Amino acid sequence: MKPRPRTTPSPTRRRTAAPSARRRMLLVVGVLSLASLGLVARAFDLQVVRKEFYQNQGDARFLREVPIAVSRGTIFDRNGEPLAVSTPVVSIWANPSEVLNSEDKLPALAKAIGMDTDALKQYLMQRSEREFVYLKRQMSPDAAQVVLDLAVPGVNGQREFRRFYPSGPVTSHVLGFTNIDDHGQEGLELAFDDWLAGKPGAKRVIRDRMGHVVEDVELVRAPQPGRDITLSIDRRIQFLAYNELKNTIEQSDADSGSMVILDVHTGEVLAMVNWPTYNPNALRGSNPSSRRNRAMTDVVEPGSTIKPFVMAAALSSGKYTPTGPLVDTGNGHFYYISHDIRDTHAYGMLSPTGIIAKSSNIGAAKVAMTLDTGLMYDTYRAFGFGNSTNSGFPGEASGYLKPGKSWGMLEKAILAYGYGLNVTPLQLANGYATIADSGVMHLPTFVKGSDNDAKQIVDPKIANELVQMMVAVTQPGGTGAPYAWIANYGVAGKSGTAHKATAGGYSKNNYSSAFAGIVPASNPRLAAVVIIDNPRKGSYYGALVSGPVFSKVVDGALRLLDVPPDNIGRWYVGGPLQGQNGLTSNKQPDVEPVPDAPIEEATP
């Protein structure tokens, strides 16, 4: 067998089969270079190209903009006594997901904030996708610190302010209240919310994953605390009015009541109270009815308290003076178009002053029927009836006065003794204040020292005559004597008793009882109105129910304000009424005077 010949591989074949170390090296270097280049490019993209985007993303996880709470402005009374102040509180908030991760601490947390453990757990689970939820709002700082000392992950505190009202229900209807976010909701808190609220600030802070502030970064917006405001309200007089009104309503078993006291020279509201009321420091449990400022929002038919304004038109017409001509009121019944206008007594012949003193419906109606309709309508409008007083109080009612062009003769007669129109207690008080200030009307205001518009709406001589005519009401034989009498001060006023309107007519047994007055009569300083709604126990006459409230409250107010007496040692101020038209002379009566006459029940 022949041996096979030996062959040697060619150089070309040897190069193709053998691995190339150089190529492998170049490949590795190339891959590493590309990877390095990618890392450099990525780093450039992160650090240069999209630096701001990623910085913001990081900040969003650790940098927060948080509000800086500001204190709401303090509300003071006219003497500098605080009526509404803001106190610091702490609201507890949490990140639900973080709190749920520490489930073992939920029982202690729930107890500290006054919740059931299961309810707290369910509350957090329902909001687990959020990063911020309130657990308890407006806790006292000490109580909040107890919660924070538990060191529950994700639980933090936020400083806020809560409103506190030192006078409680006494000033509640005037001041109103704020909500949990410290924004005014009713009353002057709402009217002056922009002034009182201020503007919260803001700052950027760094928080750790537990939500704790690690560092303050920058002030974004400086806080602007709310501005203080000084009201015209006198807290001392407010307390007097509140207590007397409350006692009278409870004793007479009435539904409600209001009282307003004005400074006649400025229009400033010195006191405004209502009953029922509520405590603005504990709103829970109060109802909307008790929160109404009835002196501003509720309207009544004024009854005989409107008669001085009829006489203002009568004196302005030139047909009448305080003493004449005499008006025949007959036997106490005046029939006109099948309508019986009645007095309680047969007063016979009465002067205009006597009509006011005796509160004669017949006399007022007959005077009105002789007046030009336009003059009577314009007089009512000039004194503010049918228009808002523009006091700026939220929800103030305008009342109602039918346009004069539609008045018939009977309608004029009925309007003369206080039916067919609606007024608020503030409107009525402002009308009397206008008479008191020699016919100058001021816009009512709740702010001390504010510049109010003033307008002369009736001749000063006529206004002063009206005051003296109303003095007769509190003299012996007048409907307000002795109930509205004030020792050593002359009182000019008018009582009123009106049946309340119901569906289909007027109620025979439900009344609105009022007294409106001016003091001191010789140099008026105050005008006040008291209205008691539907007294059920005892008398329902305005003089007997509301007159004593007026007397006691205004008596105290005069002394608190150091108003000098004008009637020392005399029971009443002498006026054009003395000794005429059946009224007694200068002595206190020894019998009960005739109260206001009940008004015809029929619908006007």
Active-site residue list: 304
Q: How far is Cα 135 from Cα 194, in angstroms, rounded to an integer?
A: 29
Which residue's entry shows tokens 């689970």?
125
Contacts of 284 (CB under 8 A, 6+ apart): none
Strand order in the sheet with 526-533: 269-275, 256-263, 526-533, 505-519, 492-502
φ, ψ of residue 191 to 5 degrees: the values are -60, -40
Q: Cβ of 159: how many Cβ atoms within 10 Å?
A: 13
CA triplet 346, 376, 496: central angle to 5 degrees? 45
Residue 311, number of CB atoms within 10 A of its CB: 29
Residue 439, CA distances (Å) to 302, 367, 388, 433, 514 in order = 20, 21, 19, 8, 22
Q: What are the Cα distances from residue 337, in Å, to 41, 367, 415, 564? A: 104, 17, 15, 51
- The label of the residue with tokens 């003369």 reads 416
CA terminus-to-terminus distance, the chain: 153
∠ CA 108-69-174, nearest 5°, is 100
Residue 276: asked if its preceding bond is cis (omega within 30°), the reply is yes
Amino acid in position 119:
A
Residue 529: enclosing H or E segment and its boundaries? strand 526-533
* Token pair belonging to 10: 């060619």
Would you say 534 and 428 are in contact if contact means Cβ atoms under 8 Å apart? no
What burial class does residue 146 get, using C-beta atoms within 10 Å of its C-beta: 0-12 exposed, 13-18 middle, 19+ buried?
middle
**Is 457:382 a contact under the CB 8 Å cutoff?**
yes
How far lies 345's CA from each of 10, 342, 355, 401, in Å?
A: 153, 9, 12, 30
Q: Which residues contact 419 (CB under 8 A, 6 or more apart)?
A: 301, 303, 498, 599, 604
